[in-house]
């Protein structure tokens, strides 16, 4: 048997389940956000595999679109960007461990200093390696995650002025409730952040790049834009919550599709899938689709989700399996190879990420970021 030539294998003969990412929509969303926050710069947030859209490919596209900064959660995400030739400034937003610092410096990644101890570790490593460190100071104004508390931030800011090997490029915080209808807590956080920033004003010093506006802040709190805004889920065309004002027009960039791989007629009293949780009292046409919770299509969608086949909406029945699920057509028709829309639009109908989140009892963020990496991504520029 001759060896397999992997170069000749195209996607159409591999798994029929895939994610399509519309790069043109990402560009449109970025333009709309930029227009909203101008003259502030924009840091596009690419953590969690760019919210399921594909870290490296989206970063390349953002670079082509002239993005100012990129933001990720972890060191390994930043390293992957550098290994793939991305040269834009990259801020790692998450907490760091001291022994990670040399990798930041050697790869020109910007660090978050969330405490005096972290700043001292960065300064020491930069001195030892003879490499400059780009640093953003993190202030906790009410999230209680990472960052020096706003009421004791002066010590960190004082120490930062004495650093000889750290370039203090930015200072930032993060909203906990900017996506709510009641913005009182978000405004309290903003007030606390402004008070911290007066440290520079009192010393007649220019402040570093100031940023706190996430997607919800961009939509609802124009006074939070400062020098830099950080769109996350909004960049991908999804609003952060039902309560958040739609003050920026964006459209989803991701569609999730599969195909029918099996058609059968299920007789009355013959239950479908594990646990025998669903059966019909009359003959029904059922198709099998090769996608399951192993791909990130949540098991909690069992018996709740809908899909689109040939422009019509049909229910998912029985328990979703790791790699497959079943759909009830009743007396509708579908053939092997017919497209199945798990998330996206067809024939004037749509399955939105908000629909999936509601059916699964979660939030849109979790739906997008849980689409497994074994699902191929295909990128469209039209």
Catalytic residues: 47, 274
DSSP string computed for 284-322 = EEEEEES--GGGT--GGGTTT-EEEETTEEEEEES---S
Distance separating alpha carbons of residues 298 and 341, to the nearest angstrom: 15
| Token pair of 64 as six digits | 């082509």
Query: Which of 277, 274, 280, 355 lies closest to 313, judged by CA?
Result: 355
CA atoms within 13 A on the CB side of 68: 16
DSSP characters for 337-363? T-EEEEEEEETTEEE-HHHHHHHHTS-
Closest CA to 349 of 314, 297, 303: 314
The enclosing H or E element of 26 equals: helix 23-37
3-state secondary structure of 286: strand
User: Alpha-carbon distance 282 to 178, whole Å?
Assistant: 50
Three-state DSSP class for residue 186: helix
Sign, Cα dihedral of 252, 230, 116, 98: positive
Provide the token pair at 159: 């120490």
Do residues 70 and 44 make contact, with C-beta atoms less than 8 angstroms apart?
yes
Q: How many residues does the chain have?
A: 382
Whether the Cβ atoms of residue 218 and residue 32 lie closer than 8 Å to each other:
no
Give the closest residue to 72 by CA, choosing from 63, 56, 148, 38. Answer: 56
Query: Which residues contact residue 242 at a Cβ distance below 8 angstroms, ignoring those fewer than 6 apart?
Result: 354
Looking at the DSSP bridge assignments, the partners of residue 22 are: 380
């Amino acid at each position: 048997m001759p060896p397999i030539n992997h170069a000749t294998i195209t996607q159409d003969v591999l798994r029929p389940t895939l994610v399509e990412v519309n790069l043109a929509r990402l560009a449109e969303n970025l333009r709309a956000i930029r227009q909203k926050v101008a003259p502030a710069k924009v840091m596009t947030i690419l953590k969690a595999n760019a919210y399921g859209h594909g870290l490296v490919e989206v970063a390349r596209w953002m670079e082509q679109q002239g993005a100012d900064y990129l933001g990720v959660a972890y060191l390994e995400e930043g390293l992957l960007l550098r290994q793939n030739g991305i040269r834009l400034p990259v801020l790692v937003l998450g907490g760091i461990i001291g022994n990670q610092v040399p990798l930041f410096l050697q790869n020109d990644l910007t660090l978050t200093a969330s405490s005096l101890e972290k700043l001292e570790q960065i300064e020491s490593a930069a001195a030892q390696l003879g490499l400059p460190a780009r640093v953003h100071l993190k202030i906790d104004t009410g999230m209680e995650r990472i960052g020096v508390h706003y009421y004791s931030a002066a010590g960190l800011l004082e120490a930062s002025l004495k650093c000889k090997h750290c370039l203090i490029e930015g200072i930032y915080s993060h909203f906990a409730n900017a996506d709510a209808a009641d913005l009182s807590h978000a405004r309290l956080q903003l007030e606390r952040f402004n008070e911290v920033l007066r440290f520079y004003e009192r010393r007649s010093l220019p402040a570093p790049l100031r940023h706190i506006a996430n997607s919800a802040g961009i939509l609802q709190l124009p006074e939070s834009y400062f020098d830099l805004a950080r769109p996350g889920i909004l960049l991908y065309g999804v609003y952060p919550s039902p309560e958040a004002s739609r003050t920026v027009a964006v459209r989803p960039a991701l569609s999730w599709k599969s195909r029918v791989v099996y058609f059968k007629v299920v007789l009355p009293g013959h239950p479908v899938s594990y646990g025998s949780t669903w059966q019909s009292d009359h003959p029904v046409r059922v198709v099998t689709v090769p996608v399951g919770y192993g791909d990130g299509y949540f098991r909690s969608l069992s018996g709740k989700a809908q899909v689109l086949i040939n422009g019509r909406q049909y229910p998912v029945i029985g328990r979703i399996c790791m790699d497959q699920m079943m759909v009830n057509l009743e007396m509708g028709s579908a053939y092997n190879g017919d497209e199945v829309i798990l998330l996206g639009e067809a024939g004037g109908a749509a399955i939105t990420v908000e629909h999936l989140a509601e059916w699964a009892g979660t939030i849109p963020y979790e739906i997008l970021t849980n689409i497994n990496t074994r699902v191929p991504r295909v990128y469209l520029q039209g």
